[in-house]
Structure 1
């Protein structure tokens, strides 16, 4: 009887020692601290002692052109600006033989306006149709057995 009682006490003690691994505590939501204090006061910005920047009246003119017959790169552009009014034009030769010309203006009152012109007639080379040759019937005898036409390569050898 004593040995049975001592065995029971040993089993209860072992279960009590191991019970901590069965219970995983600490599974609760995380509290966040919200401060009720007012945010720290920042000093007002100090006034600038620099004089305002005087911007000059913008005025420019430029133009450029490319005429490379070897690569077919033929284009030009010009633009002029007087204050907030910009006027310009550019043109380029397109692959179909036409010339695309864009004349544009931009100002504060009307915004950006562009007029696109296509000069010339598009020339497209004739379409050449290539037909696949007719297939000849296979000279083989087909499969000698009924089954799948798919096969896998054996691990250590060739197809048989």
Structure 2
């Protein structure tokens, strides 16, 4: 009985103790306070940029100007169509160094424009522009469409003429080609047969 009282006192003292013993079999201690967790600052650091622009391995090609002498040439053409108001032409020639030529064109206002030019390595392109004739600007006329030229076709039909005639009779009465038959039987000789 005495032992039971002692065990009961120990049990009450253990339950009343502010510090609980860690359960057997575990080697950790209970946390001091359930809200004592402190967050740790992140230890991440951005890497340093090690990018460098690549070196250009492309090299622009070098062109050496070839000093070739020009070749002589010559050409000429012209187109003239007075009905449609077209008139232009061009001629050009070169001795291999200096190019000279001339072209002309009939403008819509009625004048003819002529360009005479020369070109060489020292002076470049030199041109002289001249005009022949006087500019004309006719008054615009309002458009009046022509009346329709359609006419109803004339009737060229005529009634056909009758060319029928009664047929002629071409038959004739047939001739009689039969003759009276002749008797070919003979008279009996009177002999009787029994």
- The normalised TM-score by structure 1 is 0.47
**Higher share in helix:** 1
Structure possessing the higher radius of gyration over alpha carbons: 2
* Higher RCO structure, 1 or 2 (CA under 8 Å, sep 6+): 1
